[in-house]
Amino acid sequence: MPRTGRKLIAILLLTVFVAAGLGYWVLTPKTPTETVGYTTQQISLTTESEHTRSSSTSSTVSTVSAATTRTVSYYLALLEANGTAPYTRLAGELRGLPDLTNVTAVAKITYLALNATNPEIKEAFELMLNFGTPQAEDFGYPVPKWNAELLGLYQLAEDNEFQRDDTIALSIAIVDGVFRVIGDEQVQSQVRLDDSNMLGLSREIAKWQEQRKMVPLSKLPLDAALHWAWRGTTTMDAGGYWAFGGGPYPLQTFMTKKMPLAAYLWDTVDPNTLKEMRVDAEKLGWTKSANIDSIVAELEEYYYGYAWGKGRGHWEYHYVTSNGDSDTIKGVDGVDVEFGEVQNTDWQYYQRFKKRLPGVGCCVAETALVDAWLKSLGIACNSIVRYPRQGGYIGHNHAIYYNPSLGVWKAYNKQVELGLTNHPTDLQVFSIRKLPIDYRFSSYYIVDVNLGQIKSMFVENGVPSKKMQEWIFPLS
């Protein structure tokens, strides 16, 4: 069922009771020793649409070591007493957040920072602190003076429990900072709910993966964790010819005007949709193997099998007409979509897949849908774009994915090989999309290579996580 047209009519925000006796344990320095219990409650959303982004309301009781009369200032002092970057700066930027009154939330962030055993936790905080505060001159309207990504982490801490070395919580807060900057008030409320649901979903998926002897989502390296957390798929910059994507609501257009809720819902996948998708993926047998390469092959061949002689496929291709004009698709959640850029994954799932209709659109749309299916299974995905620097082969956009068992990013071989037979040495402009961690939406790692070299990178060898981080992380 589509989520377009729905209105937010009630938001049950998290109620946190902070009294004497609440706090959170940090190992160093000045380790508190007293033990207390505290209660947290998950948030829920009610809307008038049939398809809602709601999470069940549940309470959990945890026992932690804590002092009996701690304050926000106490935990900020712990960060400052650590004396190392980025934690002294973290304390300062926490002070800059609006309404920093929730002691337990600040304690959880302090715990996450100071008790880390994974060095990528520090790297994630560095990304957040370096890029999370928007630059006023980049936007056509007033933007927050505080760190929007850190605000997201604070809200997640108010609404949820963190795990030690919780790269997923950090990643969700980092990648969704952009919506806290460009979104209107309705978007702000929806993002908070979606982030909480996404974190809860990550816990469910990790347990499911562990039962299947797969590497759990919680163990992904930072680059993969960030891409798993990103729900905006290929909607960042203006689209059109050469398959860069963007759809009717490219995020870069909201540098000059605030993003309304309708655009946010169109551009992002609902965590509850992802939950349903995993169930269907299992029913279709895509997960009969725990091997990620096999799962990706099953999924890609389901949609594009007709192109590779593997069945009839389930994709209705739309891009340009015979005279080169846009092949427009009418009425996608009330929007006419040019050049087949149907990156509305919820619509593709509920209005096409659930009704036994093929997916529809260009390669960018297929990439977005593959991204969502893989995300539902805890597999991190990004996209690559290639178009000819010389020669005649048309551009193409397809998914790449992280295989944690091998520690590399890969691509399905048939996607990479499109055009390879007839154009093996034609120079391609090869682009890997960067996430808008720094609130920039037209940012790519770009290099000139041929199709044979792309195959070597993503099929025959794979790209290691650290190399991908060099390519896609913003420069300080």
What domains appear along the chain, each with residue ranges and CATH number? 8-219 (no CATH), 270-472 (3.10.620)
Please say if the pLDDT value at position 8 is more than 50: no
Q: How far apart are CA 308 and CA 324, in angstroms?
A: 25
> How many Cβ atoms sit within 10 Å of the Cβ of residue 89?
17
**Digit-coded pLDDT (tens) for 255-303:** 999 999 999 999 999 999 999 999 999 999 999 999 999 999 999 999 9
User: What is the average per-residue pLDDT within 413-432?
Assistant: 89
The per-residue pLDDT for 236 is: 74
Please say if the pLDDT value at position 305 is more than 80: yes
User: What is the average per-residue pLDDT within 46-60?
Assistant: 39
Q: How far apart are CA 198 and CA 424, in angstroms?
A: 41
Q: How far apart are CA 329 and CA 339, in angstroms?
A: 8
Burial of residue 420 (CB within 10 Å: 0-12, 13-18, 19+) is middle
- Segment (H or E) for 429: strand 427-433
Please say if the pLDDT value at position 64 is more than 50: no
Confidence of residue 380 (pLDDT cuts 50, 70, 90): very high
User: What is the average per-residue pLDDT within 373-390?
Assistant: 92
Confidence of residue 42 (pLDDT cuts 50, 70, 90): very low
The model carries a pTM of 0.86
Question: What DSSP character marks residue 252?
Answer: G
CA angle 3-181-276, nearest 5°? Answer: 30
The per-residue pLDDT for 35 is: 25
The per-residue pLDDT for 244 is: 57
Confidence of residue 69 (pLDDT cuts 50, 70, 90): low
Confidence of residue 246 (pLDDT cuts 50, 70, 90): confident
Q: How far apart are CA 212 and CA 451, in angstroms?
A: 35
Listed range (128-137, 190-199, 222-231, 332-341) with the worst mean pLDDT: 332-341
The per-residue pLDDT for 457 is: 95
Confidence of residue 398 (pLDDT cuts 50, 70, 90): very high
CA atoms within 13 A on the CB side of 62: 16
Mean pLDDT, the chain, whole residue set: 84
The per-residue pLDDT for 320 is: 77
pLDDT > 90 fraction of the chain, expressed in percent and rounded = 64
User: What is the average per-residue pLDDT within 68-75?
Assistant: 83
User: What is the average per-residue pLDDT within 234-243?
Assistant: 59
Confidence of residue 393 (pLDDT cuts 50, 70, 90): low
The per-residue pLDDT for 469 is: 94
pLDDT > 70 fraction of the chain, expressed in percent and rounded = 83
User: What is the average per-residue pLDDT within 203-220?
Assistant: 97
For residue 463, the SS3 value is strand
Number of H helices, E strands in the chain: 17, 14
Confidence of residue 18 (pLDDT cuts 50, 70, 90): very low
